[in-house]
Amino acid sequence: MARRKFPGIPAEGAKTAGMPGFIKPQLATLKARAPSGDQWLNEIKYDGYRVQLHASGGHARAYTRNGLDWTKRFAAIAKALDIPGQAIFDGEAVVIEESRTNFSELQSALAAGRQGRIEYYAFDLLYLDGYDLRAVAQIERKRLLKDLFDTRGLKTPLHYSEHIAGKGAEMFEHAAKLNWEGIVSKDRAAPYRSDRNEGWIKVKTAKRGTFPVVGFIKDPTGVAALYLGRCEGGELVYMGKVGTGWSRTASSKIRKQLDTAVTAKSPLTKPVRKPKATWVEPRFAAEVEYRDITSEGLLRQSSFKGLVKDG
């Protein structure tokens, strides 16, 4: 098949090159607040699997952020990218549940082989028809990506990831209200760099909750992790663990408090096997910030915020 030239390239910074293999992805730097100013392109932060799609001659392959070939697991997405020529997309494979991306539902869909539930949001274009685009400005890469979607008629399960120039704080506030994972702000003039840098900045929304402490893992001076529970219908069920969010001094204080509640048996209604656990009576509760609760009922991406006397 003859290579079909795509309108709009070469853009400034585009370099003629053969199609590369897997490209190590650019990663965003976590910040507490979204940056201000119109130089920033603000996008939804999707809660899914980072996937790099390589299209060549009407066929596509899907790679994870670590370069594993997951084409079979994302077969429906790969099949949908049926375009002439060659292209490399950067994006996120997701499942939409209740108007937002849901990582737990994505895991369930992958485990059950339910390809029809999985969609793909493309947010960057790294290579196109003989041109390496990584040195092209972010805004130009997004323009080329949008043009590619429009001219090639790409449709569901493939989506172009929209952005808003500026208004990062307002977009983040909106994201929190809609229970999105957060936003990613991208410097419109920056190239694509295969490392973690401040050309991309992520700001994450989070939930908070207070959960009974049912056990802990010791470390030499304090605690390495806390096991948590949740009261459910008169039962105390396992909620997962938290292992970050405290200083060495705070860890020692937590240990002293929990040592007063040590018990020989797990207080959980249905005990779980945790060989390293020191079980405690649920006299204390941990205030925890977390991203979500998995389909197994466990906390995801949790961080400790404080310990309180329960009751």
Which positions are catalytic? 45
Q: How many CA atoms lie less than 13 Å away from 178 in the CB half-sphere? A: 19
Beta-carbon contacts of residue 74 (< 8 Å; ≥ 6 apart): 51, 62, 93, 115, 118, 120
Phi and psi at residue 199, to the nearest 5°: -70, -25
In order of 54, 78, 93, 201, 256, the CA distances from 71 in angstroms are 10, 7, 12, 29, 50
Using alpha carbons, list the distances in angstroms from residue 68 to 22, 40, 82, 140, 261.
Answer: 9, 31, 21, 28, 46
List the alpha helices (DSSP H) in the chain. 75-80, 103-112, 138-152, 168-177, 248-259
DSSP 8-state class, residue 246: -
Give CA 221 to chain center in angstroms. Answer: 33
